[in-house]
Amino acid sequence: MSKSASICLGQKPLVVVLSAAAGVTNLLIEISTKAIDSHRSLISDLVAQIKSKHDPIIRNLTLGQSDEALLESLYRDLEEKLMLINSEKILSQESLDYVLSFGEKISSILFCVLLKQLRIDKKIQLLSSEEIIKTDSNFGAATPNTEDIKRIANELIHYDEKTLYVMQGFIGSDHLMRTTTLGRGGSDFTAALMAEALNASILEIWTDVPGVFTSDPNKDACAQKLPLLSYSQAIKMAKNGAKVLHPETMTPALRLSIPIYVGSTFQPEVLGTWIRN
């Protein structure tokens, strides 16, 4: 997370969209399944697993009282939801989306604390993606309503150069304010939707590999980096299983010809991939 923060200081974005911390979404899926038939007294242990997953990040942060209170209330809400799953003995996709939203809710709060600690010369404003990213009610793979998103984003975000906005990737809400998700890896898609809503000049995606490769560079030593792709090439690659980008990411960017840059958080100096016309 500190690497992402230093990229943020260098790139000076208007809006930063956060994914959950590594492994957290998978762990949330695991604990929501366990909650169905765990003994009630063990539900708090499931929440503790999520807390400890964030310990390495929190160790480097000084949390204020209000940050602590915010996190505690999130953990209470998570526990309450797991208790409910436990009493109903069923995990609906709607409940799962709500549980998964905690990954991004927690990471975005911690990222704000980190940015404030770095004394960045901007006001840090945390936004709620449940308020901005309006979707249909197709839980697990919701379709965003780009008109609503554009309207709300422009109401809440001001281009004053003095404010840095932080929000959660992957999550949104339907017309009843029920939490939805955009599908696994959906944070890229959120960022693209925001880039379109705000008519951004660039969409940057900072991930764990330095760009788009012919195959997964973490698994295949022969994988070749592709320095430049057209939108249609990138869409084809994402659909064919190149995990680096959510397949829907290119669509909003393509509509306004917003260039996309994909770079590595771990090696930001290594040239990544450009996706543009």
CB of 189 to ligand ASP, least distance (A): 8
Q: Output the smallest distance, CB 207 to Mg ion, in A.
A: 6
Written as six digits, the tokens of 52 are: 């400890």
Q: Which residue is nearest to ligand ASP (CB)?
A: 187
Cβ proximity to ligand ASP: between 170 and 274 the closer is 170
C-beta separation of 13 from 206 below 8 A: no
For the chain, the residue count is: 277
Nearer Cβ to ligand ASP, position 103 or 210?
Answer: 103
List the interface residues with ligand ASP, window 113-172 (CB under 6 A): 169-170
Listed in sequence order, the residues at least 6 apart from 76 whose beta carbon sits closer than 8 Å to its beta carbon are none
Task: Return the one option of ligand ASP, Mg ion, none that residue 210 interacts with (CB less than 5 to 8 A, by type).
Answer: none
Choose the contact partner of 103 out of Mg ion, ligand ASP, none; CB within 5 to 8 A by kind. ligand ASP
Interhelix angle 24-37/93-117, nearest 10 degrees: 140
- Residues 18-77 binding ligand ASP (CB under 6 A) are 19-20, 25
Say how far residue 269 (Cα) sits from the centre of its chain. 23
Question: Which residue minimizes CB distance to Mg ion?
Answer: 185
Closest CA to 37 of 79, 94, 89: 89
State the minimum distance, in angstroms, from the CB of residue 19 to Mg ion.
5
Residue ranges in 162-201 that form contacts with ligand ASP under rule CB under 6 A: 169-170, 184-187
Rounded to whole angstroms, the Cα distance separating 254 from 257 reads 5
CA 231 to chain CA mean position, Å: 22
Binding footprint of ligand ASP on the chain (CB under 6 A): 19-20, 25, 103, 169-170, 184-187
